[in-house]
Amino acid sequence: MKIYLDNPTDSIAINRVVENLEKYMTGVRVSDKADADLIVLHVFGRNHHVLRETESILKSGKKYAIIQYAMKSTRNPNPSDWKPIWDGAKVVWSYYDLPTPNLYLAPLASEPSVFYPVDIEKNFVVGTLGVRACYSSECFGEVHLAAHQSVGKVVHVGEKPNENPIVTYYSGISNDELRLVYNRCNWFSALRRKEGFEIPAIETLLCGVRPIMFDTPDYRRWFDGLAKFIPENSVEGTVKSLRDTFRGETWPVTEADIEETKLRFNWEKSIKGFWECIN
């Protein structure tokens, strides 16, 4: 089977998915959609755009598979709006339990050979990662304010949204540098007010750093027992929960936690399961 692996963004996370799709694929990757038997679509945006593309793929006699990253933040968050798209796919891979018979329910993953504990001083109370456009939805302001009120320093990987004397910024760093940044944190924020699987939560766990997540069913499904959960609350309520966390005792990640992370979030297992649903 000739397969086209769509890669529509410069997202580091989606690039990692594509790399592993190719690594474990059983067909042949082609660079032109016209040459493909199957097109793999990364879905995180507008329903009507995806619908037009999938209808075009089927009319051309080809098949498609979907990796659904977003649901609640799309312009059509109702599953009934997506069912024609999902039900026409060979398989729909998501970490959401979507109402389609074509669902492949599985998590994303990370690389234990890249992210692991390092003996280094922990001089940041918490780390954050993301782009400026996600400043509000990923609670950077709440995290930074809670750290300031707890007399702690913060490290942020990504664009600098503003000047903040307690925040150290890094951008364009390598995985080796990112591993060291993770290891310098006591906690790492994986908070999202909309959605997202949060691959950095896996990476920090592998580095021996506990992620903080909102207590929602989808995060509980995959990270129960591994993440520090706080209520999804108002800005003020979130700041209080974070401040209490930063001022309280740390929750060290054990070797057993790291091994459990490797078992739950395994690229080979997730990707091979995806290809098996297609073949």
CA torsion angle 257 261 262 265 (round to 10)? 170
pLDDT at 7 over 80: no
Mean pLDDT of 65-85: 84
E strand spans, 167-259:
167-170, 185-189, 210-214, 228-230
| pLDDT at position 181 over 80 | yes
pTM for the predicted model, two decimal places:
0.91
Q: Which pLDDT does position 23 carry in this prediction?
A: 94
Give the pLDDT confidence of 77-103 residue by residue, as tens digits: 788 889 999 999 999 999 999 999 999
Asked if residue 196 has pLDDT above 90, the reply is no
Look at residues 273, 219, 266 and name the one whose alpha carbon lies nearest to residue 109.
266
Q: What does the pLDDT look like over 20-56, one tens digit per residue? A: 999 999 899 999 999 999 999 998 877 888 999 999 9
CA atoms lying within 13 Å on the CB side of residue 22:
12
Q: What dihedral angle (degrees, nearest 10) is formed by the CA atoms of 249, 255, 258, 264?
A: -110
SS3 154: strand
Query: Are the CB atoms for 107 and 95 separated by under 8 Å?
Result: yes
pLDDT at 119 over 80: yes
Mean pLDDT of the chain: 92
With a CB cutoff of 8 Å and minimum separation 6, the contacts of 202 are 108, 109, 110, 115, 261, 265
* % of the chain at pLDDT higher than 90: 77
Residue at token pair 């498609």: 64
